[in-house]
Structure 1
Amino acid sequence: MNKVLIVGQALELGRTEEVYGRGFSALGCKVQHFTWKEAAPSLVSRSLPDRVAWRLAWKLLAKSANQKLVEIANQFKPDLTLVISPLLFHPDSILALKQHGLVFVFFTDNPVDAHHTHSNSWVQRGFPLWDAAFIWSQELVERLVENGVKRAFFHPFCSDVEYHFPKRQANPIYDVAFIGNWDASRKREQYLKAIADYRLGLWGSSYWNTHCKEPTLKNLCQGMCSYQEIPEILGSAKMGLNILRPQNEEGHNIRTYEIPATGTLMLSERSRELMNLFAEDKEAVYFSSPNELRQKVEYLLQNHALIESIAQAGYKKALEDTIINRVKEILTIHETINQSHSNQYINVG
């Protein structure tokens, strides 16, 4: 039995660290979680005092939390450590955990851009130390290698079929449903504005009401939804809308799988990576501009049979990429690297 230590920000339902924990457990692994939220609450708190403390002393706070992490690892002795988004992970901790087993990282954001929520000096210094790195964009795989990562793998997001499944309404009350927060790029505003006169359902943070500048979208947002509510919300619409954040335009996002996994047609912003995952006009429908989005919505609403056929094909495709599949891929790579190390040891001996 493999012992797996999963390091992440928080252990909440639907977060990557929680989903992967369930996946490893389902395959018989003994799983232990370490979260920054529990080890150093001020590092992930959004209160004003904690945010000030973050800016002034995040490295000091994080180093203390890293010491706790190493102590837990020394007790648990994991065969594999999987780190989800390593912003707070000190490079020395990678070396310390390697004393027990392989140390992998899953970059859920783009670690080679300049945004402070995606990367920092620790992340960059850690690049050559990971035994393997996983990311959701093939293009970013190549850039990781260019930045010193020894083994980088394309690792798409996945379907969580335990919580996301078809819950279709016989008579959907929305033409299009969008689950997603307001984005400072305002790109999402422009896309939603283009279809605001259709029956549009919108869920996300209060920023839609306080920061959105499009009058047609004011007070449209119904607030945040829980992870468990996603199937019911998408089941209440004829189509589920996916608009990529700027940092995901080189790949895809988790909504890529959440929508088709509920048996809902995915109407998504076009990206090369996404079209490789779900075939255009067969398993999903794509757009690249607000005008094209409006045209696609208008056309699809006049062709209900097409909506159903694409939704069903997308659903079948989503079932091919579950968390179990993703964890199996990680365990296969873990075994391959371990075998490679063993062969090197034999050859040297």
Structure 2
Amino acid sequence: MKILFVGDDWLGSNARSLAEGFRARGHEIMVIDSTPATLPPRLSPSWAYAKSHERRAPWTVEHVHTRLERAAAELRPDLVFAFKSVHLDQRRLLDIPAALHVHYSPDDVSNPVNTTPSYLATESEWDLVVTTKRHNVRELLDRGARNALFVRSAYDPAWHHPSARRTSRQYLVGFIGACRPDRRDGMVSLARTYGAQLLVRGPGWRRVRQLRTTRAEIGGAVYGEDFSIAVASVTANLVLLNSDNRDTHTCRTFEVPAAGGLFVGERTDEHAELLSDGAEAYLFSSRDELDDILERCVAFPDEVAKVAAAGHRRIVEGGHSYADRAEEILRALG
């Protein structure tokens, strides 16, 4: 197929990984980067406009659509694939000549922050809406979507793979991900208990004053291969979910074990389906359970290394790459 793909194409983005997944399956693909419109640089005029108008700056949206329409005229695509493109002009996306138009959302599409009025008004016109949240499928169909497909998140083998350590320091426990209100108190509590044995990396954590007063190592976001390098320096890699998305799994579900890290995650049905608790991962439902797991990591390092290795095999041999997800989507389209 010839696929015209629009999504945020920065290094380490899931959109870039999925686009490469289609390419890896032998399809001709042209990617148009929507980042200038959807994630304008902080303090730029387009950023200020988005903050004051609650929509993206018209000139940045026009720039993306101009590139899309020129690309469509050259490629003559069979499929227009939009990766969380709710901030673009939905009418112009759907009017691009192609046999199929697909919208993909990595987030909960019933959460208002992940939609726009213009997207909702035209949602029923997409040939397929893809979601990584199982509960969204019925919700999408109930509000008029023509067709909805659940696919799990994935990992990118180009970035998520076992990596050599770049430091002599080995942290007992670590979390790589954004600071969110539902994570803040728990992370501060972990930092007070484990101090210098804890690594926290991701947007927003340096602004948490209570965290800065502990001995925990706090750093910024890491993307692409740098994520795997960070995982290599942590024994127990926490997989925490986003309550606003009603997550039962997340990208980290696949990225951590693919990178060779020990998966220590919140207990959900999906996590239990994907990885065997105690043999391929460690799951917890409470802080006491998490503390017990971390004590095990200290007392039985050889055992937990075997669990990490088994989790790695389960994910990389289980059909969970972005190329596998691309194939699932195209199979659903027939």
- Rate the CA distance shift 1:146–1:281 in 2: closer, same or farther, 3 A: farther
Taking the aligned partners of 1:226 and 1:66, their CA distance within structure 2 comes to 24
User: SS at 1:177's partner residue?
Assistant: strand
CA offsets 1:112-151 (integer angstroms, 9 cap, x no match): 1122xx1110221232111111111211222112221121
One-letter identity of the residue aligned with 2:135:
E
Q: Say what the alpha-carbon RMSD is for the aligned residues.
A: 2.6
Confirm whether residue 151 of structure 1 aligns to residue 147 of structure 2: yes
Partner in structure 2 of residue 281 of structure 1: 278
Partner in structure 1 of residue 261 of structure 2: 264
Which 10-residue stretch deviates more, 86-95 or 129-138? 86-95
- Rate the CA distance shift 1:109–1:331 in 2: closer, same or farther, 3 A: same
Structure 1 residue 263, shift from structure 2 partner:
1.7
Structure 1 residue 60, shift from structure 2 partner:
3.8
CA offsets 1:3-30 (integer angstroms, 9 cap, x no match): 1111113x22221221122222222211
Confirm whether residue 295 of structure 1 aligns to residue 267 of structure 2: no
Confirm whether residue 233 of structure 1 aligns to residue 233 of structure 2: no
One-letter identity of the residue aligned with 2:27:
C
Q: Is the 8 A contact 1:138 1:273 kept in 2?
A: no
Taking the aligned partners of 2:280 and 2:2, their CA distance within structure 1 comes to 37
- Rate the CA distance shift 1:155–1:187 in 2: closer, same or farther, 3 A: same
TM (norm. structure 2) is 0.87
Q: Is the 8 A contact 1:172 1:236 kept in 2?
A: yes
Partner in structure 2 of residue 255 of structure 1: 252
One-letter identity of the residue aligned with 1:255:
R
Partner in structure 1 of residue 110 of structure 2: 112
Confirm whether residue 222 of structure 1 aligns to residue 219 of structure 2: yes
Which 10-residue stretch deviates more, 149-158 or 209-218? 209-218
Q: How many residues align?
A: 326
Partner in structure 2 of residue 121 of structure 1: 117
Q: Is the 8 A contact 2:133 2:247 kept in 1?
A: yes
Q: Percent identity?
A: 23
Alignment of 1:5-16 (within 5 A): 5-9=4-8, 11-16=9-14
Confirm whether residue 58 of structure 1 aligns to residue 56 of structure 2: yes
Taking the aligned partners of 1:265 and 1:219, their CA distance within structure 2 comes to 20
Partner in structure 1 of residue 27 of structure 2: 29
TM (norm. structure 1) is 0.84
Unaligned runs of 5+ in 1: 337-349
Taking the aligned partners of 1:299 and 1:18, their CA distance within structure 2 comes to 37
Q: Is the 8 A contact 1:241 1:268 kept in 2?
A: yes
User: SS at 2:135's partner residue?
Assistant: helix
Which 10-residue stretch deviates more, 162-171 or 185-194? 162-171
- Rate the CA distance shift 1:22–1:215 in 2: closer, same or farther, 3 A: closer
Partner in structure 2 of residue 203 of structure 1: 201
Q: Is the 8 A contact 2:137 2:148 kept in 1?
A: yes
One-letter identity of the residue aligned with 1:29:
H
Partner in structure 2 of residue 81 of structure 1: 80
Q: Is the 8 A contact 1:283 1:314 kept in 2?
A: yes
Structure 1 residue 94, shift from structure 2 partner:
4.1
Taking the aligned partners of 2:124 and 2:60, their CA distance within structure 1 comes to 21
Unaligned runs of 5+ in 2: none
